[in-house]
Amino acid sequence: MKWKPLLLSFSAIILLLGSFLWPTTFALWQSLDTTIFKFLNHTLESHPWVQVFWALINHKKADLVEDAIFLLFFIVAIRAAPKEKRIRRTAEFIFCLLLAGSLIYFVNRTFLRNHALLPRESPSLVVTPCIRLSKEVPWLIVKDETVTCFPGDHATTLLLFTVLYTFYAGRKLGTIAALYAIFRILPRLIVGAHWTSDIIVGSGCLVLFFLSLALCTPFHTCIIDRIEKILRSNHEKVPI
């Protein structure tokens, strides 16, 4: 057990949630949220090509491209590992996919949506004036509003990917992954589908809680060891 990082993670969660739920500090979050949204959304003004670009990035089919890029990141990290460690690295990334998929499906899309989702309108429904890409680029389906924007599903996926990838692939490749994650988080903020606090507080607390339980306990080592054992027993069938 890694008690120090575990306690630090839980302390960070308490501070973040506390600042979001306490009316005085929530007002500060609201001010920060509004300022950031106005700044980002203003970049769409009078720039049709910029509007089309962010509309395309926000389109549902862009998520398929994102998934493909995730896999590319994993392949690069596996190939970069010494040959004798590639099976272990593959097991680590299978664990990443299993953990991320479980959290997104069972927590974000099942538990939170059905039992604990906080009603909160997205900035596009609150801040006026704002540029709505669903109106500016009507020929594309753009998600730029919701009444349950907390926490951000998309940002949870990206934060999970970044932290897990950095943990196993190392700082160099992790930095590239972090830059990519920031780029993919921006579209939801620019079009007004999410507030900044939806990501920092909502997605951040979810990721901190589950990753601290997974990475600061023997859980991840136990699961990865089992996956590696399976891969090694079938190593002739698994191209590494």
What is the rounded distance in angstroms from the CA atom of residue 68 to the CA atom of residue 93?
A: 14
Over residues 145-161, the mean pLDDT reads: 85
pLDDT per residue over 45-64, tens digit each?
A: 878 899 999 999 888 778 78
Q: Is residue 104 part of a domain?
A: yes
Over residues 150-154, the mean pLDDT reads: 81
Q: Is residue 18 part of a domain?
A: no
**Looking at 104-118, 162-176, 184-198, which range is the least confident one?**
104-118
Is it the case that residue 22 has pLDDT exceeding 90? yes
Q: What residues make up the domain containing 175?
A: 25-233
Is it the case that residue 237 has pLDDT exceeding 80? no
What is the number of H-type helices and E-type strands within the chain? 12, 0
Percent of the chain with pLDDT over 70: 95
Which of residues 189 and 141 earns the better pLDDT score? 189
The number of distinct structural domains making up the chain is 1
Q: Is residue 129 part of a domain?
A: yes
On whether the CB atoms of residues 58 and 133 are closer than 8 A, the answer is yes
Q: Is residue 20 part of a domain?
A: no
Query: Under 8 Å CB-to-CB from 161, ≥6 apart: which residues?
Result: 70, 73, 96, 100, 177, 181
Size of the chain, expressed as the number of residues it contains:
240
Q: Is residue 13 part of a domain?
A: no
